[in-house]
Amino acid sequence: MLSIGQGRYLFLLDWIGTPLSFMNAFRFVIYGAEGTGFMIERAETIEQNALEEINQTADAGTLEEIRVKYMGKNGLLTQVLRSVGQAAPQDRPRIGQQVNKAKQAITESLKARREALAPLGKSAKASIDYTLPGRRPPLGQKHPLTLIREEVTEIFHEMGFGVVDGPEVELDYYNFEALNFPSDHPARDTQDTFHIGDAIVLRTHTSPVQIRTMEKQQPPVRVIAPGRTYRHENPDASHAFTFHQCEGLYVDKGVTMAHLKGDMTYFARRLFGKNVQVRFSPDFFPFTEPSVQYDFSCVACSSRGCKICKNTGWLEISGAGMVDPAVFGFVDYDPEVYTGYAFGMGLDRLAMFKYGIDSIHMFLENDLRLLGQ
């Protein structure tokens, strides 16, 4: 508690700090025009002091105190402003100008300091309107080729096949040579491709993964190898420079064509329905003997004939056959002990049949409407 005596001193201090308006009015009375100079100086000093204080502050609360001290209702600058009216009319604009300049400088400096001190996220947070409905990001969809690969993989998983992988940029040796396509073999013409140097190609089929797998493991082998392949093709609705295959290989003692036919029929019915028929016809591949081409009865028209099956009632699905003993020679499997079947089916074709897509190029075009269906 203050005693009455102390209170008196406080009053004295108060009086010394009496609002400038009073002091200035006093000065004008005594000094006349000299008071103008004083007021301008006073505004300048106030500006300097305020800027200094602002810059030394690292706390938003103190900044607010500084604002009140200089620009509040009874702030130091406000007082100078109020006393402008008491100056000689011709001097008022000059004083007013100086006071305004100080006011602007202080306001800007306060603002800049406040922003510099505010933690980054804070101002952004303040501008979020939590009552607005959220923006839904469009949901992604799986590409038809991904869907078909996943489904095919799942069916073969059920049948006891593992999944293996191989490089798309492949050695000529794996893509051709070890699959029994010698370098001068005319069967190479059916698989023209992109060459990267002498002995490296973009793989034309997934069959090289057969060799890579057999090099690494002894029978029994039961794997599929889905992946991307490349060929130098004349593009049409069912041919593109890149497409997808799923290779299959089953090697063990006593594997026969009957296993191939049974497994392919099971696969066909799991993928397209229990009424699908499978038909084999003779074909030629250097790495299978005998070789076949197999077709599924057309799922779109139940074999009555339609655009999709080109009125044949059958869909060409895959090449297949019994692994040629010459291939076993490249991987040191004993053809006297082991036999195996292999197949390579076009995943793009399966997806086209399954989802009713009429051009293979749609898979590459990135048109979101295809994915949205």
Query: Under the rule (CB under 6 A), what is the footprint of ligand DAH?
Result: 205, 207, 247, 285, 288, 319-321, 342-344
Residue 143 and residue 147: Cα distance in Å, rounded?
Answer: 6
CB of 289 to ligand DAH, least distance (A): 10
Q: Residue 359 burial (CB < 10 Å; 0-12/13-18/19+)?
A: middle
Choose between 54 and 249: whose C-beta lies nearer to ligand DAH. Answer: 249
Residue 319 and residue 260: Cα distance in Å, rounded?
Answer: 11
Residue 231 and residue 239: Cα distance in Å, rounded?
Answer: 9
Residue 146 and residue 152: Cα distance in Å, rounded?
Answer: 10
Choose between 94 and 188: whose C-beta lies nearer to ligand DAH. Answer: 188
CB of 203 to ligand DAH, least distance (A): 10
CB of 213 to ligand DAH, least distance (A): 12
CB of 190 to ligand DAH, least distance (A): 7
CB of 208 to ligand DAH, least distance (A): 9
Choose between 70 and 294: whose C-beta lies nearer to ligand DAH. Answer: 294
CB of 345 to ligand DAH, least distance (A): 8
Please list, in sequence order, all residues whose beta carbon lies within 8 angstroms of the beta carbon of residue 194, skipping any fewer than 6 positions away: 201, 202, 230, 232
Amino acid at 217: Q
Maximum Cα–Cα distance across the chain:
128
Choose between 7 and 182: whose C-beta lies nearer to ligand DAH. Answer: 182
CB of 199 to ligand DAH, least distance (A): 19
CB of 271 to ligand DAH, least distance (A): 18
Choose between 46 and 347: whose C-beta lies nearer to ligand DAH. Answer: 347
CB of 249 to ligand DAH, least distance (A): 7
Residue 216 and residue 210: Cα distance in Å, rounded?
Answer: 10
Task: Give the Å distances, CA to CA, from 228 to 168, 244, 312.
Answer: 7, 4, 28
C-beta neighbour count of 199 within 10 angstroms: 12
Choose between 83 and 288: whose C-beta lies nearer to ligand DAH. Answer: 288
Amino acid at 85: G
Beta carbons of 227 and 209 less than 8 angstroms apart: yes
Choose between 35 and 319: whose C-beta lies nearer to ligand DAH. Answer: 319
CB of 320 to ligand DAH, least distance (A): 5
Which contacts (CB < 8 Å, 24+ apart) does range 354-360 have? 354/144, 354/148, 354/271, 354/272, 354/299, 355/144, 355/147, 356/300, 356/308, 357/144, 358/237, 358/307, 358/308, 359/237, 359/238, 360/237, 360/238, 360/239, 360/240, 360/243
Choose between 103 and 205: whose C-beta lies nearer to ligand DAH. Answer: 205
> Given the DSSP bridges, would you call strands 162-163 and 221-230 parallel, antiparallel or unpaired?
parallel
Choose between 285 and 314: whose C-beta lies nearer to ligand DAH. Answer: 285
Beta partners for residue 295, in sequence order: 279, 316
Task: Give the Å distances, CA to CA, from 34 to 82, 277, 320, 348.
Answer: 18, 113, 110, 95
Residue 153 and residue 147: Cα distance in Å, rounded?
Answer: 10
Please list, in sequence order, all residues whose beta carbon lies within 8 angstroms of the beta carbon of residue 101, skipping any fewer than 6 positions away: 43, 47
Choose between 76 and 201: whose C-beta lies nearer to ligand DAH. Answer: 201
